[in-house]
Each structure stands twice: as structure tokens, then as C-alpha cells.
Structure 1
């Protein structure tokens, strides 16, 4: 055990569990749809799958969710960062956030609850209990359905979530996820540190897509080049034949003149 040479300053008590998700929670009914950005959300049980969000009662979405009993947690990406911030500072009482941010409304097949089409993952939730904790009330919910963007599925049906450019929120700032440092359980693998290879499935998925596209483009270029070569060769052969014919005809005419 190392001797304690690290100095720390005692800080005021508060929530410093960062980074956290910057989730866009959609809610409403068939007549209206709203979005509220939340940081207090996460998994609370694996089986059965359960999650939660915590909201201030003053938020416009609070009564919408309390009345309908449903909400959708939409994961956010780099391309959604502006909309994520906007939906956290603007109120649905004053503006249609879907329209303002040019977002697509998709409805859950079972509940009709609105989802954000541009989100790579949308988690449909049914409120099970509301706990009044203090400044925030916690909506404890069962996960009913999960919708994912099909373009991140590979040929084997594996979903590459880390290829979606997810973002997080930390101490007042939105951040993109950085380099993958390891996979679950890698620390106890029976290999030397030098031999440990980080499984970069999502990056490989992206690289393979780019590689496949490049390969296809290369193949198409090769086909075009081969066709052009064949065409050029055919034209060249035709010209050679015509040249030989003309030469042969000229020689024949000269010979006939000499005979005459």
C-alpha cells in the first residue's frame, strides 16, 4: 500500500457524480409533444428492467408525465447537442421544441408516447411510482420498449452503441465520449499488459463500413478502368485492322499498275 502523499480539500456537500447522461425526455399525448432535458436519470434494476428520471415539479413536462404515466428517454449525440441544451433551457409552455429544433416525432406503437426520431436509442417507460424527495421528484419506471437506429446494426445483428457519438454532461459542460480504454473484465484477463488488446468493436464497425465503402468504390473504379481499357483496345484493334486494310489495298493497286 502506498503512503498517503495526496492532498485533498474538503468541499461542500452536493451532487458531484459526474459525468452523467444528457438525456432528452419526450412526453405528451396525441395532441401535443414536449421534450425536457434531464441529467438525473439512470438504471436502477436489471431484471425487471427499471429506470428513473428526477424532475422539478415546476417543469412543464412534470404534469404531462404525471397525467399520462409515460415518458421516453432519448439518448443524445454530437449532432443533437444544440437541441439537448435548447430543450433544457426553454419551456414547452412557450414553444414547440420539436418544431423549433426540427426534430422528428415518432410514436410508440403501444402507448402513443412521442419519441425523437434522430436519437439512436429511445427507451419507452411507464411510471410505477413518484417519490417526492425534495427539490426533485423521482419518477420510478418500468422499461416497456426500446427502439434503436437500424444503421448501427451489423450483419450479425449486433448493435454498436458506441459508434453513435454519444455525449455526456459534466460540471456544466457537454462532452463527447473519448477513447475506449478497455472492455468489461479486461483487468483480470490472463495475459500480460503488453498483450492486452482493447476490443474496439464500435470503432471497428465504423472502420469496416468505411473500408467496405472504399472497397466498393475501388472495385467500381477497377471495373470502369477495365471497361475503358477494353474499349480502347477494341478501338485500337479496329484502327489497326483498317490501317492494314488500307495498306494492303494501296500495295495491291501499286502492283497492278506495275503489271500494266
Structure 2
């Protein structure tokens, strides 16, 4: 197998495609689609999003210090794309995409009711790294859709139809290939 050598660039794919909701006091809520996001720490629970400073949502998040990460699904693919290519300066994304604001518990920014998971976040630090600034945030609250809870109280996140972003395309996640630790698990006799 031969490989080409390319200049330095990010090729870590796939990534979650999330809709991040934010709101200034007294103004309409906004949504930005972000793929530069991920888990930072389990204890304390922390995550990050990276946003270009010229984006409309950047100023909102920088000023308020809060946002909600909303996990997206295949059913929300069009809304996810729209919220990434249209500016909240020009359009009310909740209205245009027929999305419902869901009140948060610990912050002012709303979540998106149609998303199966909403993660309330408070900015801990902003790292100005170059083209994007990273918002390092504490996770304050997590809302999960009860439709995906079983009778034992287990949340079935993988049944929600989650999607990912990979090299310019939105992708369905597909079938399970194994579970955490399956490669070293002892076989039952």
C-alpha cells in the first residue's frame, strides 16, 4: 500500500456533529453547528468546543460564558447542516428549522428539545489557538430523552440515530462492531 504525503492538517474523522445553542439576555436564542468538539475529562465532567471568532455565536458564548451541546440524529441532519451554514445575524434558526427551545436548569441558554441529549455547559477557560478558539467548559447538567430509557432506567443512546461528520459529509453511525473491552474479555465456558 502506498500513501501520499500531505501538508499538516486535521484528518481526525469522524467527529460528532453537534448543534450548540446559546443566548444573550433579552435576545433570541441561536444555534451553531460544531464538529470540533469532544470530551476533555470525566471527573470533573468537562468538554470543549472550538469556534472561529468571526462566527456570530462566538461573541454570544464569549460574553455569556455558557452554551448547550445538543447531540444530533439522522432526522436532524438538514437542521444540523443549516445551522452550520446560515448566520444567526440574519436568520432565526429555531424558527426556520422548526426546532423547540427547551429550558435549561443551571444556565440561561436553552437546549433543543428535538435532540436526544442536551448538555448544559459553563465556560471555564478560552484558549485562543489560531483559526479557532477553544471553549473549555464544565458540564453542569445533562438532559436525556425518556423515550430511550428502558424499564430498568438504562439510557439507550445508540438507539437515537446519532450521526457524525466525516471529511465534509454527515454519516449515520451504523452497526455495532463490539463493546468496550471486548478484545480482552475472557470467554465464558
Q: Provide TM-score, normalisation by structure 2.
A: 0.96
Alignment partner, residue 3 of structure 2: 8
Trace 1:203-222 onto structure 2 (pairs within 5 A): none
RMSD: 1.3
SS in 1 for 2:8: coil
User: What is the CA–CA distance in structure 2 between the aligned matches of 1:24 and 1:113, rounded to whole Å?
Assistant: 13
Q: 1:120-159 to 2 correspondence within 5 Å?
A: 120-159=116-155
- Give the unaligned 5+ runs of structure 2: none
Tell me: higher relative CO, structure 1 or 2? Use CA pairs within 8 A at least 6 residues apart: 2
Q: Which deviations, in whole Å up to 9, do the C-alpha atoms of 1:121-173 show, x marking residues without a partner?
A: 00000001011000000000000000000000000000000000000000010
Of 164, 167, 176 in structure 2, the residue corresponding to residue 180 of structure 1 is 176
Q: Which residue does 1:47 correspond to in 2? A: 43
Structure with the higher fraction of residues in helix conformation: 1
2:29 aligned residue (8, 30, 33): 33
Q: Per residue, is there more strand in 1 or in 2?
A: 2
* Residue in structure 2 matched with residue 212 of structure 1 by the alignment: none
**Does 2:107 correspond to 1:111?**
yes
Structure 1, gaps ≥5 residues long: 1-5, 196-260
Q: With structure 1 as the length reference, what TM-score do the two structures score?
A: 0.70
Contact 1:26 1:74 in 2 (8 A): yes
String of CA shifts for 1:178-215, please: whole Å, max 9, x gaps. 110000111112229xx9xxxxxxxxxxxxxxxxxxxx
Structure ID, larger Rg: 1
Preserved CA contact (<8 Å) 2:106 2:120: no
Query: What is the Cα deviation at residue 30 of structure 1?
Result: 4.8
